[in-house]
Amino acid sequence: MTDNLDKPTGSENLPENRPYPVWEDAGMNRLEYARAAARSRGIAETLLDTPSLLPAALRTRQQMARIRRAGIFDAGWYRSKYSDVGASGMDPLRHYVKYGFAEGRAPNAAADENAVGVMAQRRRRSFFPAFLGIFGTLIAMKRPGRFDAEWYVAANPDVVASGMSPLLHYVRYGAREGRSPKPSPAFMALCGMLSMDPAATQNLLTERRRSIRERFESGVLGEMVAKAAAFEPLIAHAQRDTLAVNLPPFYADPAVPQIVAMHRLQEAAKFRRAHAVIVLPDGNRPKTVAAACRLANALAEIYGPEELVVLCTDAEGPGTLSGLPAGCRQIGFASIAKDLPIETQEHVLIEFLRSLRPQTAFNLESRLFWNSLRTYGKALASSIRLYGCLFQNKQDAKGLWQGFALERFYRNFDILSGVVAENDALIEELISRYSVPPAQVHKISTLENMIYEVSRNMNDNARH
């Protein structure tokens, strides 16, 4: 077996053992040279990362033949660069195929400057080769509801011009470019909010992302990255992550539905702030609805009905709650945010409350509101006076006591401005069960006393 390789076209006048010389000798600028080195790396990674069912010995011979035909391996340079290869007495090409590539060694001088094989080394440690990953993605995307070929072609005319299968185009290029695999109601709604045509918007986003990627890969930015990568190879590999461009407000899928939900909530609130917000789970709990109506009518007298917002968060109840003051804004949060993950619902609820900039917010047994306080409670309490309304605990068929008074009082008492108890008996139970310090007993009161406290605070603020 010989290690002499055919030199690539245009390399006849180059020094021996340097088929890809340093960029000054090649008459190229640094960027052009970096691209040539990248092509060399790509050839090696493609040829050596391709899976094969052949026995190990035959596979090695096949890969050696491929590398030899590609003309990217410089045996003399490789032997002089890596002294252990010469000491081992092994054929340099065989060593590169069996060990050097996986160890991140370079096949020639040009590739050495850009540290060939670092990413290939990572992929070799991966359980699935690259093409199996693509194959697995293709199978996954063929499941019902994952990919709409007709819509994808209609939204991306360049796919037809490419002659490629729509699904294969999405897996290989579309996902990386931020294209949508199927019509998204949230995307359509966001385009409607911005008065933009969805198909035209998709094409505009694709072209804008492509333009940004080209500027990162070439031009001044590309040249700067190439120069930096010559000193630190990881920069070149990290650049791949930076090429996954997100353009606001069209971020990844979780963000777009969140933006749409927030806009719909603001639309339901008539794009106005509120002085007070009442949050309850739904309109199907008589005791909770009755307390909400009493509280709402009292707050309407203090702030005015137009300054009051009532939110139903946990289930889709009746469209309008009877007994609320005329003019207050009723919003079905559950209807608007029902398709969002529960963690996102919590985040949207808190952001919506903050955007209303109320002075007070009352939680009448909304589990979503209680759960959101675990993460956002302290931050929310710094700008809004929070009140938790608790009702008597109930005993289930097994004799176990259940209720928010048991679950939430001790967890949230410190961040709440006050606790509204259903009656005096519950107040005494809370004080006794949780050993509330005498200095903080005043924070627990009945609904009537809490309304009086809110009214007094408003009058004090008005005087100041």
Q: Using 50, 70 and 90 to split pLDDT, how confident is the model at 200? A: confident
Residues 6 or more apart in contact with residue 1 via CB below 8 angstroms? 64, 91, 93
Q: Using 50, 70 and 90 to split pLDDT, how confident is the model at 47? A: low
pLDDT at residue 109, rounded to an integer: 77
Provide mean pLDDT across the span 359-387: 94
CA distance 145 to 227: 45
Q: What length is written for the chain?
A: 464
Provide mean pLDDT across the span 336-343: 90
Provide mean pLDDT across the span 279-283: 89
pLDDT tens digits along 158-170: 788 777 888 888 8
pLDDT at residue 110, rounded to an integer: 67
Provide mean pLDDT across the span 173-189: 75
Give the pTM. Answer: 0.60
| Domains and their CATH numbers in the chain | 23-125 (no CATH), 184-251 (no CATH), 257-463 (3.40.50.2000)
